[in-house]
Amino acid sequence: MKRNPDLERKILLAVEAYDGVSEPYHAEVRHLASSHHVADYHVLLLAEAGLIAAEDVRTPDDPYEMWPTRLTMAGHEYLDTIRDEEVWRRTKEGARAVGSFSLDALGALARGLVREKIRKHTGVEVDL
């Protein structure tokens, strides 16, 4: 199954918005993808990357099923970097141009764009 960075971003935004009370939360995340297997797979990837915490409820019939519970600090930091629609659009364009959609490449591109925005709006050079 292929990774979908747009879906990963949607899941991160949904996990961030979760109030900790609504049930069943994993069902809300599953509606973000074309199938629950695709959503579960991406939740698993995000958990493996350390961006979210998730409850492991995998079974032989559903080897990807993970229920997201919260963002980790790394997840908050990454999401804050890619949250802005313009930054996200330009990040994907840059990744497409160089042919790499790795998490590290997306994060580095987004951080560069955020640095650029900060410098443009404040005149301050920052190292993110």
Task: Give tens-digit pLDDT for 93-115.
Answer: 999 999 989 999 999 999 999 99
57 and 98 part of one domain: no
β-bridge mates for residue 59, sequence order: 62
Q: What is the pLDDT at residue 87?
A: 96
CA-CA distance, 101 to 86, in Å (whole number)?
17
111 and 67 part of one domain: no
66 neighbors 53 (Cβ within 8 angstroms): no
Q: Determine, yes or no, domain membership for 60.
A: yes
**How many other C-beta atoms are found inside a 10 Å radius of the C-beta of residue 67?**
18
Tokens representing 92 are 């994907």
Q: Determine, yes or no, domain membership for 49.
A: yes
CA-CA distance, 29 to 16, in Å (whole number)?
11
20 and 55 part of one domain: yes
Calculate the dihedral angle through the C-alpha atoms of 125, 95, 69, 60, rounding to the nearest 10 degrees.
Answer: -160
In the chain, how many domains are there? 2
Q: What is the pLDDT at residue 25?
A: 64
16 and 53 part of one domain: yes
Q: Determine, yes or no, domain membership for 9.
A: yes
91 and 58 part of one domain: no
Q: Determine, yes or no, domain membership for 127.
A: no
17 and 47 part of one domain: yes
Task: Give tens-digit pLDDT for 14-61.
Answer: 999 887 666 556 778 888 999 989 999 999 999 999 999 999 999 998
Q: Could you list the residue range(s) of the whole structural domain that residue 90 is in?
A: 84-122
Q: Determine, yes or no, domain membership for 33.
A: yes
